[in-house]
């Protein structure tokens, strides 16, 4: 595709149907019906004509690339639509061929597959990152509707990496990094182990060619040095299987270069310290025999405690099943062994593609496709709650690195979560409403906070409250894309509603200043305003006013069909009434923390809504004089029971029990302590303490300060302004 291949001027002719590569490809389609093979021939001829004259960086005709991608799909024994789409996957992007043209000639399914793979080259993006995020979003959405899209895309990316030697160095590294970040994890998530390992190793060689070369040399050298030891272990395992009457295939398994490199990086090890470069795989007849083989191996070599994993009883989310155990072999060498049956081996190597590859894996493949479909449906859920492509990609990335933790519901159902997941992640996995209203969790019958990380085997029960709502702080510790997406969606909707209410209030007050009410404006004027503004409804206009994206005075002028140039002469906005319960749409400035009773002033900041300051706040003096039009008058009409934060500073004698006395005085004055910090003014004599308190208004704060003055050790007390 264009990200790895560029087009040159016409020159070298494209291959004909007599080319050896084409003949080998056609021979590999023996599993298809004759009429389907003819359709593939037609698709090849169509792609050949469309790409004629186009070249890859290597100088080869461009058609060699789609032919190689289609060949990979044929190896997976994919259906005819997938093979045809692989041959045509670049024609919409790189030539004048349209989706409707493909649909008429090769069918709607093929056209949808090709469209899902095509990039959005004709759309203007602010940055390359934004373009890439939107491309991934489109591909993943197409993948959610049809899994074949991603299988073609992975084959496409794999061939691009294999043939990238002629591509510019910076482009090589960018594409390789993108592969490690997105495509390799997708291959892993779908259980395509061979593709996953190859994508990782090729990307590693492109990003760090020298390191990859040195590491490959070290692995070959280690293989030579340990050959006798490895042969001895292999022979011992084979003999043990025969003695136990178990028919098994036993073979050595080498770690990929990239996995060795990553282990060295993450654990800061030298190559000589990475002992498990080689492992062994035992493939047996059925599941009971897997456990018999495990017992035989544990009697041959001592197992390492805590290093046994049963992925047969609890498969990984991508359908992978095996028994993993680590043994202490000769000379204290750790040996990693995987035990599985033939069907599990097929799935471990080919993942979802095993459904097409192996007849004996059809039932397992169907189950795996069902699991994959469940994950893909979760992508559609993320998409529905996320408009921003970069944010959507961030959520997907989180779900692409699932080092799993398995926990239980109170009814004994197993739930899979990524390592580091918290009780909040669990709550959102159960149901969105459970997540939105959760307040705590019982983990193994013990009440725990929501930020508690879950461990394998935990039994989790979520405690909810009808009035509870998501907290923005949850975003700092949730691990699943689903939880992150749902929390952000709730907060955005809440902010939208609050900002809409504020915007409606500001607009009504502007109209009132002209002696009008909202009902006095003809409905046609409201409709015209919405149409001109390019939004869906008047509520969106109110939201923009509340968030500071539009000025109420300008909107009123448009509403009354007057020119925007009169805004300069428009009278000053009416006073806005603040109740203190508006939430995110109205914010108390952290620099001065105004409370009811303070004289206040407000400024509408883009994307923040109305920010309220004390009139004498030193942080706004310059802005008020240089930009007076940005400031509006506001006044208090506090809601009953609403508390506000206020800061006070106390200097007190450094004596035993002083802090307890001050805390008691604050409590008796019906205030809560939100935060406390202290610093020694003169060591051993005085201490200065900074309290953040919750108070209803200035009178309440004055009562708290009077109560504190009655503590004999308090020398000085003042309200704190500024951070």
Q: Which residues pair with 250 in a beta bridge?
A: 282
Contact partners, residue 447, CB within 8 Å, separation at least 6: 440, 441, 463
Alpha-helical (H) ranges within 565-638 are 621-626
Q: List C-alpha distances in Å: 65 to 5, 148, 170, 384.
A: 9, 18, 21, 35
CA–CA separation, 540 vs 523, rounded Å?
16
CA–CA separation, 10 vs 249, rounded Å?
53
The residue from 94, 350, 391, 544 that is catalytic is: 94
> In the structure encoding, which two tokens stand for residue 658, read together?
């002083």
Question: For residues 403 and 266, is the Cβ–Cβ distance under 8 A?
Answer: no
CA–CA separation, 350 vs 353, rounded Å?
5
CA–CA separation, 454 vs 302, rounded Å?
30
Q: Which residues pair with 716 in a beta bridge?
A: 651
CA–CA separation, 172 vs 597, rounded Å?
63
Sheet order of strands, 576-578 included = 576-578, 631-636, 600-605, 609-614, 586-588
Among positive and negative, which fits the CA dihedral 472, 473, 475, 476?
positive
Determine the Cα angle at 375 with ends 369 and 379, to 5°.
130
The residue from 36, 79, 93, 633 that is catalytic is: 93
Question: For residues 198 and 259, is the Cβ–Cβ distance under 8 A?
Answer: no
CA–CA separation, 487 vs 57, rounded Å?
46
Angle separating helix axes 193-207 and 169-178, nearest 10 degrees: 150
Buried b (16+ CB within 10 A) or exposed e, 270-299: ebeebeebbbbbbbbeeeebbebbbebbee
606: nearest Cα among 540, 551, 549, 554 = 549
Alpha-helical (H) ranges within 272-318 are 287-300
Question: For residues 338 and 322, is the Cβ–Cβ distance under 8 A?
Answer: yes
Is there a catalytic annotation at residue 94? yes
Residue 195 burial (CB count, 10 A) = 26
Q: Which residues pair with 612 in a beta bridge?
A: 588, 602
Q: Which residues pair with 689 in a beta bridge?
A: 650, 678
CA–CA separation, 241 vs 339, rounded Å?
12
> In the structure encoding, which two tokens stand for residue 493, read together?
């909707």
Is there a catalytic annotation at residue 93? yes
Q: Which residues pair with 687 in a beta bridge?
A: 652, 680
Q: Which residues pair with 75 in a beta bridge?
A: none
CA–CA separation, 76 vs 31, rounded Å?
11
End-to-end CA distance of the chain: 53
Q: Which residues are catalytic?
A: 93-94
């Amino acid at each position: 595709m264009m990200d790895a291949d560029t087009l040159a001027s016409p020159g070298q002719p494209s291959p004909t149907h007599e080319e050896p590569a084409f003949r080998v490809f056609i021979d590999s389609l023996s599993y298809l019906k004759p009429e389907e093979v003819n359709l593939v021939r037609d698709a090849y001829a169509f792609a050949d004509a469309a790409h004629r004259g186009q070249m890859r960086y290597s100088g080869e005709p461009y058609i060699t690339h789609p032919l190689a991608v289609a060949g990979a799909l044929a190896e997976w024994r994919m259906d005819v639509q997938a093979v045809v789409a692989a041959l045509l996957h670049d024609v919409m992007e790189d030539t004048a061929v349209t989706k409707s043209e493909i649909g008429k000639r090769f069918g709607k399914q093929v056209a949808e597959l090709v469209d899902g793979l095509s990039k959005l080259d004709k759309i203007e993006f602010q940055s390359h990152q934004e373009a890439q995020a939107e491309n991934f979003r489109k591909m993943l959405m197409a993948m959610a509707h049809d899994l074949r899209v991603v299988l073609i895309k992975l084959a496409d990316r794999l061939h691009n990496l294999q043939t990238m030697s002629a591509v510019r160095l910076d482009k090589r590294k960018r594409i390789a990094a993108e592969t490690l970040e997105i495509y390799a994890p997708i291959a892993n998530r779908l259980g395509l182990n061979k593709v996953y390992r190859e994508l990782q190793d090729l990307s590693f060689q492109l990003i760090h060619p020298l390191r990859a070369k040195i590491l490959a040399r070290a692995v070959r050298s280690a293989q030579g040095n340990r050959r006798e030891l490895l042969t001895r272990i292999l022979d011992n395992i084979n003999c043990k299987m025969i003695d136990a009457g178990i028919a098994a295939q036993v073979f050595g398994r080498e770690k990929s270069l990239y996995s060795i490199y990553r282990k060295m990086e993450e654990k800061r090890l030298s190559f000589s310290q990475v002992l498990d470069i080689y492992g062994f795989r035992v493939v047996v007849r059925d599941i009971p025999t897997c456990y018999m083989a495990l017992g035989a191996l544990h009697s041959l070599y001592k197992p390492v405690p805590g290093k046994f994993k049963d992925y047969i009883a609890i498969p990984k989310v991508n359908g992978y099943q095996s028994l993993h155990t680590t043994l202490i072999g000769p000379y204290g060498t750790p040996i990693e062994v995987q035990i599985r049956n033939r069907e599990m081996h097929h799935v471990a190597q080919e993942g979802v593609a095993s459904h097409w590859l192996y007849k004996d894996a059809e039932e397992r493949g169907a189950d795996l496709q069902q699991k994959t479909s469940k994950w893909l449906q979760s992508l559609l859920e993320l998409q529905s709650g996320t408009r921003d492509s970069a944010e959507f990609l961030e959520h997907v990335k989180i779900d692409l690195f699932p080092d799993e933790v398995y926990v239980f519901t109170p009814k004994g159902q197993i739930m899979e979560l990524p390592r580091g997941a918290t009780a909040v992640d669990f709550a959102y996995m159960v149901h969105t409403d459970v997540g939105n209203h959760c307040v705590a969790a019982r983990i193994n019958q013990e009440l725990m906070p929501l930020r508690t990380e879950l461990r394998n085997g935990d039994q989790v029960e979520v405690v909810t409250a009808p009035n509870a709502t998501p907290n923005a702080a949850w975003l700092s510790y949730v691990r699943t894309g689903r939880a992150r997406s749902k929390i952000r969606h709730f907060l955005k909707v809440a902010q939208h509603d609050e900002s809409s209410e504020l915007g409606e209030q500001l607009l009504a007050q502007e109209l009132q200043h002209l002696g009008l009410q909202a009902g006095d404006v003809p409905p046609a004027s409201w409709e015209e305003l919405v149409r001109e503004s390019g939004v869906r409804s008047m509520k969106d206009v109110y939201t923009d006013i509340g968030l500071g994206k539009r000025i109420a005075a300008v909107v009123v002028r448009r509403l009354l069909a007057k020119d925007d140039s009169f805004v300069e002469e428009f009278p000053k906005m009416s006073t806005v009434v603040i109740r203190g319960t508006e939430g995110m749409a109205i914010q108390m400035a952290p620099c001065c923390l105004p409370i009811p009773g303070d004289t206040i002033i407000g400024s509408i900041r883009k994307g923040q809504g109305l920010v309220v300051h004390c009139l004498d706040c030193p942080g706004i003096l310059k802005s008020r004089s240089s930009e007076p039009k940005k400031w509006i008058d506001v006044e208090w009409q506090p809601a009953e029971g609403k508390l506000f934060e206020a800061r006070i500073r106390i200097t007190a004698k450094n004596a035993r029990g002083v802090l307890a006395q001050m805390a008691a005085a604050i409590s008796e004055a019906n205030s809560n302590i939100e935060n406390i910090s202290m610093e020694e003014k003169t060591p051993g004599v005085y201490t200065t303490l900074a309290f953040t308190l919750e108070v209803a208004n200035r009178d309440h704060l004055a009562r708290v300060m009077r109560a504190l003055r009655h503590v004999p050790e308090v020398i000085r007390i003042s309200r704190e302004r500024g951070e």
